[in-house]
Amino acid sequence: HVQAMQERKALHTLLAKRQEDLPARRMKDSYLEVILPLGSQPEIREKYLNVHNSVRFGRILEDLDSLGVLICYTHTKQEMQPKSPLSIVTALVDKINLCKKIIYPDCDIKFTGNVSWVGKTSMEVTMHMLQLHDGDYSPVLDATFVMVARDPENKRPAFVNPLVPESPEEEKIFKQGELNKLRRIDFNTASLLKMAPTAEERNIVHDIFLNTLDTKTVSFRSRKLPPNSVWMEDTKLKGLQICHPQERNIFNRIFGGFLMRKAFELGWATACSYGGSRPFIVSVDDIMFQKPVEIGSLLLLSAQVCYTEKNYIQIRVHTEVYDANTREHHTTNIFHFTFISENEVPRVVPNTYG
C-alpha cells in the first residue's frame, strides 16, 4: 500500500491547472450498465442473502457507492493517461428512493447510471437499479450521489471535466442538479446549529412540550408520556466496529459503502425493535461524509427513532470515531433512513430540546 501511495504522488503533474483546460464531456460518455447476476450465477447469492430470503439492502448500498465512483472515473478519464491522477470520494448521498419493498435473491439485477451535473470539483451521479422479472427489467430504486475529486494523495480539491447537455431533456436534468446543489446549501444554512427555528417549528415544538406536561401539576419539570408513545431517548441502539484493513479503499481509509452498510443494518435493527415487526426500507436521505475513517479506528454507531407517522419510522444514525490515545470523539457520518412497518407504530416523543 505504501508503494502504491508513492506511485500516486508522481501523478500530481497530470492534474489540470484550470477546468477550462479539460475537454467537455457528454452525459452518455459516463453512462454505465452493470449486471449483478444473482439469478444466473447462484454462487454469489450467499453474500447478498438475508434471513428473510431477500437481498440485503446494505450490500446494495455498497454496490451503489462503488458504481458512483466508477462512473466519475469514466467521466474524467483521459485517453493518454494510463492512470487517473484524481482521487474520487463520496461527499454525500442526496437521496435514494425505493419503489419495491422486496428485492429478490434469485433474479438478476441491473445498475445503470451517469454523471448528471458537474461543478468545478464535484459531480452529481444519478443511478437506477432494476430487477429482472419474466424477461423484463422493472425499476427498484433511483439514487443520487455527490462525489468530489481530490488530488492523488486525497489532500486538495481537483478540477473535473465540464459537462455539456445535448438535448432539452438533458438541460432539464442538468438544471435539476443545480437546484439540488442550491437546496443542499439552503438546508445546511438552516441548521439549528446556525440559526433559530422558524415560527412554525417553534409552535410544533411547544405543542409537543405542552402535550407531555402533567396536568395535575403546574410545573414545567413534571413530564408525562402521552398514551401509545415512547420517549425518543428510549429508542436508541448502539454498535461498535473495529475498522480492519480488509475494508479499506485505495487511500488506506475505510470504504464509504462499508460505513453505509453498517449504519443501515443498525438502523434496520432499531426500526425492527421499535415497530415490533419486519421493517422495509423506503428511502435514504442526507448521508453526509464529514470525516474519513482511518484504519484501526474504533467506530461508534448510535441509532435512534427521530420521527414516526402511522406505519412510517424515520431513523437517524450518528457515527463517530474514538481515538483511544487522545480520548477524543469526532463525528464522521450522519445517516437518515425511512422505513415502513407492517403495523402502525407508537408515536415517538422528544424529552429534551436537543
Whole-angstrom distance, CA of residue 66 vs CA of residue 127: 11
Whole-angstrom distance, CA of residue 117 vs CA of residue 165: 9
Whole-angstrom distance, CA of residue 251 vs CA of residue 55: 29
Chain center to CA of 254: 15
* All cell numbers assigned to 141: 430504486
pLDDT in tens for each of the 354 residues of the chain?
566 666 777 777 788 899 999 999 999 999 999 999 999 898 999 999 999 999 999 999 999 999 999 999 999 998 877 788 888 989 999 999 999 999 999 999 999 999 999 999 999 999 999 999 989 999 999 999 999 999 877 778 999 999 999 999 999 999 999 998 888 877 776 666 677 778 887 788 888 887 787 777 766 667 788 888 999 999 999 999 988 887 777 667 788 888 999 999 999 999 999 999 999 999 998 888 888 888 888 899 999 999 999 999 999 999 999 888 888 889 999 999 999 998 999 999 988 766
CB-CB neighbours of 340 under 10 Å = 18
pLDDT at res. 144: 95
For the chain, list the domains and their CATH numbers.
2-189 (3.10.129.10), 229-346 (3.10.129.10)
* All cell numbers assigned to 149: 475529486
* All cell numbers assigned to 140: 427498484
pLDDT at res. 238: 96
- Of the candidates 98, 96, 73, 95, the residue with the CA atom closest to the CA atom of residue 84: 73
Whole-angstrom distance, CA of residue 27 vs CA of residue 21: 19
- Condensed to tens digits (0 to 9), the pLDDT of residues 11-64 reads 777 888 999 999 999 999 999 999 999 998 989 999 999 999 999 999 999 999
* All cell numbers assigned to 300: 461508534
- Rounded to a whole number of angstroms, the CA Rg of the chain reads 22
CB-CB neighbours of 102 under 10 Å = 12
